[in-house]
């Protein structure tokens, strides 16, 4: 009897701990991921022609989409952190450069930037090579995958810079003062005290940027890169079945974004802290 009372007391105590409630241990929205994946499976089994043929045709495009998204996201985190630190820097030159970068890049549509990097940037490099007499620059040829990743990092890095800036500035100034009073210099205080707290604050908007990046990766189809969207276009052009093709492509994107959203939600819950 005493043991059961102790168990009841411990259970009630656990319910008061944020994140330890029974209903929070399993995200019910995972069932939506299962549902969409089930729809894809049912369509592929019941109507292998064309749905299973579509999956086989676009599977390499799925890999290209995943590579662009993951690599661009990792790199833009570093760019965003540097940009955010530059935005709050007391050095006027660094602050001016990062502010100009953020304001200018955010004023140009992403599709226009991708097109510029793919079509205009190689011409600029070739012209520089001719002026300087450097042969390998004059013979430069665009690599669609590398330039697409560079374009995403360059564009999304500006938005990520603002997210990092807001996250850093949300940390009370007393945290920096306390770190400095312990003998840390500015960079040590940022590394060990401010940034770890800021990262936990900015996780939700960073997760949203990852999902937006995954969807915006479809824009690389405009620069001759065989991602999921472009492979869908090719299949539709060859088979003249737009309804089936774009339904399957949309479902694949949907299951990828829903899965990513659930992973982001899980990370947020694991790192959540009460103020």
**Do the domain assignments include residue 121?**
yes
- pLDDT of 80 reads 94
**Do the domain assignments include residue 86?**
yes
**d(C-alpha 225, C-alpha 241), whole Å:** 22
Question: Is it the case that residue 64 has pLDDT exceeding 90?
Answer: yes
- pLDDT of 244 reads 94
Average pLDDT, the chain: 87
**Do the domain assignments include residue 205?**
yes
For residue 106, which phi and psi values (nearest 5 degrees)? Answer: -70, -15
Q: Label residue 3 by pLDDT band (50, 70, 90).
A: very low
Q: Number of folded domains in the chain?
A: 1
Q: For the segment 31-59, what is each residue's pLDDT rounded down to a tens digit?
A: 999 999 999 999 999 999 999 999 999 99
The end-to-end CA distance of the chain, in Å, is 38
The token pair at 152 is 């995403």
**d(C-alpha 70, C-alpha 256), whole Å:** 12
Contacts of 275 (CB under 8 A, 6+ apart): none
**Do the domain assignments include residue 267?**
no
For residues 90 and 82, is the Cβ–Cβ distance under 8 A? no
**Do the domain assignments include residue 112?**
yes
Q: Label residue 84 by pLDDT band (50, 70, 90).
A: very high
**Do the domain assignments include residue 162?**
yes
- pLDDT of 25 reads 65
Q: For the segment 101-144, what is each residue's pLDDT rounded down to a tens digit?
A: 999 999 999 999 999 999 999 999 999 999 988 888 888 888 89
Question: Is it the case that residue 201 has pLDDT exceeding 80?
Answer: yes
CB count, 10 Å around CB of 133? Answer: 8
Domain interval for residue 91: 62-225
CATH of the domain at 187: 1.10.3720.10
Rg value, the chain, Cα? 24
**Do the domain assignments include residue 190?**
yes
Contacts of 44 (CB under 8 A, 6+ apart): 51, 52, 55
**Do the domain assignments include residue 5?**
no
Q: Label residue 10 by pLDDT band (50, 70, 90).
A: very low
pTM for the predicted model, two decimal places: 0.85
């Amino acid at each position: 009897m005493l043991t059961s009372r102790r168990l009841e007391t411990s259970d009630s105590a656990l319910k008061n701990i944020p994140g330890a409630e029974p209903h929070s241990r399993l995200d019910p929205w995972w069932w939506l991921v299962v549902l969409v994946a089930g729809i894809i499976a049912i369509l592929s089994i019941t109507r292998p022609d064309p749905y299973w043929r579509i999956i086989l045709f676009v599977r390499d495009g799925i890999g290209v989409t995943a590579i662009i998204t993951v690599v661009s996201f990792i790199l833009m985190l570093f760019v965003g952190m540097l940009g955010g630190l530059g935005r709050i820097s007391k050095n006027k030159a660094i602050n001016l450069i990062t502010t100009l970068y953020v304001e200018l890049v955010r004023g140009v549509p992403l599709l226009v930037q991708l097109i510029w990097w793919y079509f205009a940037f190689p011409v600029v490099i070739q012209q520089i090579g001719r002026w300087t007499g450097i042969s390998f620059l004059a013979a430069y040829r665009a690599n669609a995958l590398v330039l697409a990743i560079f374009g995403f990092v360059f564009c999304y890095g500006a938005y990520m810079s603002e997210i990092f800036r807001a996250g850093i500035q949300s940390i009370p100034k007393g945290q920096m003062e306390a770190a400095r009073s312990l003998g840390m210099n500015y960079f040590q205080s940022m590394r060990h005290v401010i940034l770890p707290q800021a990262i936990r604050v900015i996780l939700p908007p960073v997760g949203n940027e990852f999902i937006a990046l995954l969807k915006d990766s479809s824009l690389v189809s405009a620069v001759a890169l065989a991602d999921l969207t472009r492979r869908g276009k090719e299949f539709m052009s060859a088979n003249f079945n737009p309804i089936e093709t774009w339904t399957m492509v949309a479902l694949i994107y949907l299951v990828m974004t829903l899965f990513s959203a659930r992973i982001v939600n899980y990370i947020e819950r694991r790192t959540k802290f009460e103020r």
